[in-house]
Chain A
Amino acid sequence: MPLHKKIISILKDILNVLKIEFQTMFRDRGVVIMFVLGPLAYPILYCSLYKNETLIDVPIAAVDCSRSPQSRELLRHIDATQNVAVISKYGTLAEAKEAYNEKKVHGVVYIPADFSKKLATGDQTSVSIYCDISSFMYYRIINQACSNSVLAMSNQIQVERLNANGITGESANVISNPIPYNGVILYNEGAGFASFLMPVILVIILFQTLFLGIGMIAGTSREENRFHVLVSSSVHRGGTVRVIIGKSICYFLMYAPWAFYALELIPRIFNLPHIGIPFDVMMLMIPFLLATIFFSMTVSVFIPNRETGIVIFMFMSLILVFLSGVSWPQSNINGFWRAFAWMYPSTCGVQAYMKINTLGADLHHISFEYISLWVQSLIYFATTCWAYHWQIKKTSKKQLKEDVVTIHI
């Protein structure tokens, strides 16, 4: 066969597989839920849940045993912060504890009786806070609000005391803060929770819906034993590859718009960090989607039924979030789990997207992830070819027996 005719026939085959795959996809309600409703609704849902970014006016109680102008001033300071509200005052710690047990408050500020006396005599005094730590956020917010207020008041008193010791003017300024420090928060200036976690969730949503969707399609064709259809379209040598390329183009075309929606539009709509160059994000999405598609197609060979994928792999969503190394820093993941994490395209996808989108990195900054994703695409393409080939061969050999190779999970 002349070369150009062969190419045309290959392209025809691929186009044919693509067409069939698109038809199957849209005729299947379950797949539509996974491939359309999932990537559409999940990002909106999670963004809405976490839209508050930080905690506002967390209720706390005050136990003011000092009852002095100074103690009242400190409490006013604490109350005035955006994150904390002093909603009730109690005479004793026991009463405050009762309020805490009833979950009316999430923290207690305790000011001892000798607070103002010690301030007057120039001694060191103390303030205690008790934090609810059922959530990491409570502890951080309450501790931060209280220590900032205490620090502001301390600085004021410090200058007064230096003056009282005959140290005034510039000299007092120097002593009160001889080496000032200045902490600058970058990339997530408000220390927002959504800004931190949503980029991770968005990538994982793309990964998991695509993975489970492909699993569902494979499970279905397995149930309906549609494999011999694939075989008939691959009478020529290398037919397996044509089937795989046709299918993967179909999934890719389906998910490219979703990737743009989830990774570019959603951060703009919900005001999440988006300082990366959109072109770089899209360049990254190509190997990410390819690696995900081929990874899923490889695994899908072992999925015997429509629902198996969901039952067996749904729990991985959360594990993938942790493996991606954003909430628990990647530097602190041990070698074994780091290697395990690398196998999932979502890990490099999350890291690379995070770095481009949130930290404003360029493609050359993320070369490790970028190259990894291309390597994964190649490896998983090879494994998909092998797995499909194996499947098609087995099926055509024993066409009469149903579901021979199926490992009945």
Chain B
Amino acid sequence: MSNDTFTAFKNTLYRELKRMVSRPIYFISTFVIMTFCYIFFLTFFNEGQPNKMPIGIVDLDNSSLSRQFTRNLEATQQVKVVMRLSSHKEAREEMQRGNIYAFVEIKRHFSNDAITNRRPTITFYVNDGYLIAGSLISKDITYMSAATSIGMQRKILRAKGLDENRIKGIIQPIALDTHLIGNPWANYGTYLLNVILPGMLQLMVLLMTAFPIGVEYKQRTSREWVENANHSMFAALTGKLLPYTVIYTVLGVIGNILLYKYMHYPLNSSIGWMFLATFLLVVSSQAVGVIFIGITPVLRDGVTFAGIFGTLGITFAGSTFPVEQMPTGTRIISDLFPIHHYFNIYVDQALNGVAIHYSLISYVIMLSFLILPFFVFDRLKNAAISQSYPTK
């Protein structure tokens, strides 16, 4: 950087810092919103896994066996029997009201039928309209139902005089053990927060790149901005955006520390790699933000598109629904979102802890986003000088 450019850069930087303290929007969109997001998501998901979700039971038998079953259900982690209902219809209505996510139906003569080998059925109904609640509850009720059946089996086989080893082989010939790579607790907060917090960060970075640039055009100060930077678009942009790079990187790193050190989410590699990824997420999002405001140097359009892109980014990251299972072509589009590459790094490094060379490509792609702003330098400069764009 030549001396001239450096002076220009410094002037722009001071100018921007002055602007930043002039209106509260700058403070709100950086510290206030990110702090709110951290507090919100960490307190919202602090359970990690939704526990003790309400279910109902329709116990028409009311025998010691059926009551035992209810007690066993109560003992599972994710289910809580909150109401006893007298009929299927009543239970279904409670489900439609949203008061319970599932109910178990135990028929009349259940206990009697079980003792006399008439194979009574336990039926449970799960509301998968609430998919997460439904599938977690379903898992626990299935487990308890199977356990009840197995208990009965064991009783019968013992009565027949079989030895314990035999019985074990009959009851469960093939045991299945499931290993969750990197996240042994299947903590739901882990799935979400590792994407949502950086997702929020990139959204705010995108908006707060389009905004501080666009507002110059809107307030007709863009000429002054460029002239102050000695007509160097490079100095004008770097000087303007550096404060945000610093602020959002610091906020992002705080986010990483909260996730990996405070919440102890899985981190199977050095936290430094996540810091680097966070920094690159900030600068690559800034680069994309410059493109948006560069295409239409109209503040309102710039922030609208940046906002839409940022919101979509959370979908395209690929955590909630894997990108490769989305329609063809989506995969290519997802590569245009810096957060998608951040997510890949998170999976490789924090979750799976694989060697760093697997993630190298993601770091390089994020870095290469920095080429983008150069394409709109001329456009931004001409628009800044001519100030011919609508302010509305």
A interface, CB within 8 angstroms of B: 28-30, 33-34, 45-46, 48-52, 55-56, 58, 74, 100-102, 119, 122-140, 143, 146-147, 150, 153-154, 157-158, 161-162, 165, 167, 171, 173-189, 191-193, 195-197, 216, 220, 273, 306-308, 310-312, 314-315, 317-319, 322, 326-334, 336-337, 351, 354-355, 358-361, 365-366, 407-409
Contact = CB atoms under 8 A, between A and B. Distances in A.
B325 A55 contact: yes
B121 A161 contact: no
A34 B25 CA distance: 21
B138 A183 contact: yes
Contacts of B188: 136, 328
B231 to A, nearest CB: 27
A135 B343 CA distance: 11
Contact of A196 (B40, B128, B203, B348): B128
Interface string B141-158: 110011011001100110
B315 interface: yes
B28 to A, nearest CB: 6
Interface stretch (B204-212, B241-249, B273-281, B372-380): B204-212
A273 B129 contact: yes
A193 B326 contact: no
B325 A181 contact: no
Given A179-B119, A315-B200, A191 B128 contact: yes
17 contacts: A55-B325, A119-B173, A124-B168, A127-B174, A135-B318, A140-B135, A173-B119, A178-B153, A179-B119, A182-B123, A192-B131, A306-B392, A328-B188, A331-B133, A337-B43, A408-B24, A408-B25
A175 B157 contact: yes
B128 to A, nearest CB: 4
Interface string B91-116: 00101111001000000000000100
B3 interface: no
Contacts of B130: 196, 326, 329
A311 B191 contact: no
B299 interface: yes
A18 to B, nearest CB: 22
B173 A158 contact: yes
Contact of B129 (A56, A133, A188): A188
Contacts of B146: 181
Contacts of A192: 131
Given A124-B169, A319-B40, A186 B25 contact: no
A361 B122 CA distance: 26
A102 B354 CA distance: 9
A153 B174 contact: yes
Nearest to B80: A331
Contacts of B169: 122-124, 161
Contacts of B52: 332
Interface stretch (B10-18, B232-240, B302-310): B302-310
Which 4 A-B residue pairings sit nearest by Cβ, starting from the closest?
A181-B145, A196-B131, A361-B96, A188-B128
B301 interface: yes
A58 B318 CA distance: 15
B28 A133 contact: no
B362 to A, nearest CB: 11
Contacts of A51: 327
A314 B152 contact: no
A126 B177 contact: yes
Contacts of B312: 45
Nearest to A360: B96
Interface string B170-198: 11111111111111001010010000100
B23 A179 contact: no
B45 interface: yes
A130 B174 CA distance: 16
A130 B330 CA distance: 27
Contacts of B50: 328-329, 331-332
A329 B178 contact: no
Given A102-B358, A162-B170, A311 B207 contact: yes
B101 A329 contact: yes
A125 B173 contact: yes
Name which of B24, B181, B199 has the most chain A CB atoms within 10 A of its CB: B181
A174 B119 contact: yes
A77 B163 CA distance: 31
A408 B131 contact: no
Contacts of A308: 25
A294 B358 CA distance: 52
Given A58-B325, A126-B177, A138-B322, 18 more contacts: A29-B392, A50-B326, A51-B327, A52-B321, A56-B325, A74-B174, A129-B177, A133-B183, A133-B351, A137-B320, A161-B173, A178-B152, A179-B114, A184-B123, A196-B128, A306-B300, A307-B299, A336-B43
A196 B196 CA distance: 19
Contacts of B125: 183-184, 186
B127 A186 contact: yes
